[in-house]
Structure 1
């Protein structure tokens, strides 16, 4: 079982989920609050038991409550950039260690979507395992729009006084992880419709609808929210500096079967078509499934700096493929026949 990279990843994801949702219960709220405050995954500060929270909430607050008002009042100084630079610097230091594997191995929302997907498979729901290439191309810009508009421009505009204070942290107001982690922590308040103002009411309705949509879509397709997550876009900006790498040796050993792209939960067809050695694409979460499902020896590899973590191997592929088919119910486990 432990030779299966996906099983190891699920175990790590489960531990990360428990820590990021309930961690302050074990380390204390003060210690948890000081761990970083700029984590590269969607762990939420609105969860009262969280061990850490993601980089997007301090970034929005610093733009909306610090930098924006100071510029509007004509009191801008370079020192006002220090909190933002500290937040981004902390994020970058953590990101260098694990690169985009924070998405594929540690994010609570990513893990929850995968679990729902597994449930959908077991329920034999009519699932869309791979999206059409044209649809994928249309979806991809959404994460950049979310990052630029909801995380940067609207909070800054709120601080400058161009829009209401409700838009000081608009992404956090609609983030599915806010509702998810709070629910698991026993808090129902993040599901409620906020009627304190029209703006908050609209945002809370959008949040509930988005959360419900993600629940439904996760049962029938792979990683729906990950595709539009602004944190994935933020990761993409710095992916070259991370120590975890995804590489491909495009040699004659690659039979161009396309199984790597088919296995990818983010429908990244470029890992099949690219002839570059570095195939860590902007949408990649470094889950490693493409390496697992590559049947050609040594063609694909997941590495930490120069150290191989997992290298494609025909024997591993054969066993992994069998395990996947058994899970999906497409192949019955072989039975040993007793000899008389």
Structure 2
């Protein structure tokens, strides 16, 4: 109880300090670029009517040629070229000659903004089906498809061979599941979407792959998932819930234009879908996502395997410190939410608390998703995308304001530094990042407190009379969770447990530990002491 009080006070003090310091800032208009911003005269027009695009570049250089591309619904396009005036502003007018959804791209060098217009034909039959147009055929990336097939084949072999060892059955199965989910999460990368003709290639492939609707709420970024499925790589099939949680507060609270997509529903409705999805998934499976699905969890496990190969012993934290260390995830989560709300106050309450949060401001440009600027998973996702040939490897070392960032991949040098620190820590302390992961904390929020805890479908149970307090479960736990060892019996699942089931796998007593799904036992401990297999 004392630690929770200290934690709550710390968050409150940090919030007050940040708000007071933010209010003392003097707003200074500046150019943090280069970038281009534009507005359209109307998003709803009739066929053969004209729209005007007004915009500006930053820095406001004169006599710069701007390309404005009007992409029709059938993915043909019209190019117009205009020169900026003495203040770096430009204006262009175009007649829209086809009914449907137009994408409009004002392009400044390698940087572009995106606008849209919905063009209707008043003479068209209202009962006629809406014409649909398909993107040009995607070109399969056979190199990556082959690599995926080989990896899954090797994973199958490892799983089959591993199951012969009683103390590796579950671990082998988990490794196979983890590898399989990496390909499922990023399977869109197996497709060379660069085959789409310019400028239609500016249209994000995920807009076609994963855009969906939930109870009437438009979710063009896809359904949120409680594991690191990074938003930024093109071709992903899911979206990290933490990214949606941040950006739907700021900068996409209002319905309208997003990064490569258009939001038909308000931010509050989209946040409702995010929280609803997380609550539902947390109730059903809890942190099973962390132990069995999360790609970054697989990365942590591979580092541990490297350490074992080098015969280097892992280190442990004291039980007391480890329990407090786990609380850091909630602090990080709270700071993410606080920063997002402070940044988004202009849209939420029509009051700008933090300067430079307006469109084109420094924070809008570079810190609108604060956690994503330090997320250790992002460089790994970018590396995956590099392997498909969609970006140059040297971009991984660009700074925040480099060409790489401006191209829309939003990777900063800080991401690389954090990944290096996390990797080094994971080498000596098993699953060190998972102990403070804010996404794991988000899942735990809905699985540790009543009534959610009472209706959890996935439980780890212990039979007290079969437990001898040998301590094996405590020693093999990668995050040093002690509840399985300390609790007498019954449900021993804790909010810090990743449900990796290493304790079930290594427990040497028959049926002492059981994993139950909706009351049905799906895995149980076995007496491997009677066998010579280790």
> Where on the TM-score scale, by shorter chain, does this alignment land: which range?
0.7 to 0.9
User: Is the aligned partner of 1:280 residue 2:493?
Assistant: yes
- The alpha-carbon deviation at position 169 of structure 1 amounts to 1.1
Aligned residue in 1 for 2:245: 59
Per the TM alignment, residue 62 of structure 1 is displaced from its structure 2 partner at its CA by 1.1
Q: For residue 154 of structure 1, what is the aligned residue in structure 2? A: 339
Distance in 2 between residues matched to 1:153 and 1:232, nearest whole Å: 18
Q: Which has the higher strand share?
A: 2
Give the Cα–Cα distance (whole angstroms) in 2 for the partners of residues 178 and 318 of structure 1. Answer: 45
Identify if the C-alpha distance between structure 1 residues 22 and 176 changes in structure 2 by more than 3 Å, giving closer, same or farther. Answer: farther
C-alpha contact 1:249 1:277 (8 A) present in aligned 2 = yes
In the alignment, which residue of structure 2 is the partner of 1:230?
Answer: 438
- 1:92 is matched with which residue: 276, 279, 284? 279
8 Å CA contact 2:507–2:527 kept in 1: the answer is yes
**Matched residues in 1 for 2:311 and 2:286: separation?**
34
Q: 1:14 aligned to 2:183? A: no
> Contact 2:282–2:444 (CA<8 Å) still a contact in 1?
no
User: What does the per-residue CA deviation read over 1:64-118, in whole Å, with 9 as the maximum and x for residues that have no partner?
Assistant: 224499xxxxxxxx96521110111123333444321111000000001101110
Larger radius of gyration: 2
Equivalent-residue separation in structure 2 for 1:47 and 1:191 (angstroms): 17
Structure 1 or 2: more helix by fraction = 1
The answer to whether the aligner puts 1:110 opposite 2:297 as a matched pair is yes
Deviation at 1:172, TM superposition (A): 1.4
Q: Structure 1 residues 322, 214: CA separation in 2 closer, same or farther (over 3 Å shift)? A: farther
For residue 432 of structure 2, give the secondary structure of its aligned residue in structure 1: coil
- Distance in 2 separating the partners of 1:235 and 1:255: 32
**CA–CA separation in structure 2 for the residues paired with 1:68 and 1:145:** 27
Partner of 2:84: none
Query: SS in structure 1 opposite 2:416?
Result: helix
Report if the CA contact (8 A) 2:233-2:382 is conserved: yes
Q: 1:195 to 1:80 in 2, by over 3 A?
A: closer
Gaps of 5+ in 1: 70-77, 324-340
Q: 1:190 to 1:56 in 2, by over 3 A?
A: farther
1:183 Cα shift?
A: 0.9
After superposition, the C-alpha distances for 1:102-156 in whole angstroms (9 at most, x for unaligned) are 110000000011011101110123432x322233133111100111112x11111
> 1:223 touches 1:266 (CA, 8 Å); kept in 2?
yes
Instruction: Report the counterpart of residue 326 of structure 1 in structure 2.
Output: none
TM-score (normalizing by structure 2): 0.53
Secondary structure at 1:285 match in 2 = coil
Question: Within 2, Cα distance between the matches of 1:98 and 1:110?
Answer: 16
2:12 match? none
Partner residue, 1:2: 163
Q: How does 1:249-264 map to 2 (within 5 A)?
A: 249-251=463-465, 253-264=466-477
CA distance in 2, matches of 1:113, 1:97: 24
Q: Specify the alignment match of 2:148 in structure 1.
A: none
Residue of structure 1 equivalent to 2:419: 211
The alpha carbon displacement at 1:318 in A equals 5.9
The secondary structure found in structure 2 opposite 1:17 is helix
SS at match of 2:330: helix
Secondary structure of 2:303's counterpart equals helix
Residue segments in structure 2 that go unaligned for 5+ positions in a row: 1-161, 194-204, 213-220, 256-264, 346-351, 355-362, 448-452
8 Å CA contact 1:300–1:311 kept in 2: the answer is: yes
Q: Give the Cα–Cα distance (whole angstroms) in 2 for the partners of residues 153 and 122 of structure 1.
A: 42
What TM-score results when the alignment is normalised by the length of structure 1? Answer: 0.81
Which one has more relative contact order, counting CA pairs under 8 Å at least 6 apart? 1
Aligned length: 308
Aligned Cα root-mean-square deviation (Å): 3.0
1:300 correspondence with 2:513:
yes
Distance 2:523 2:306 in 1: 27
Give the corresponding residue for 1:73: none
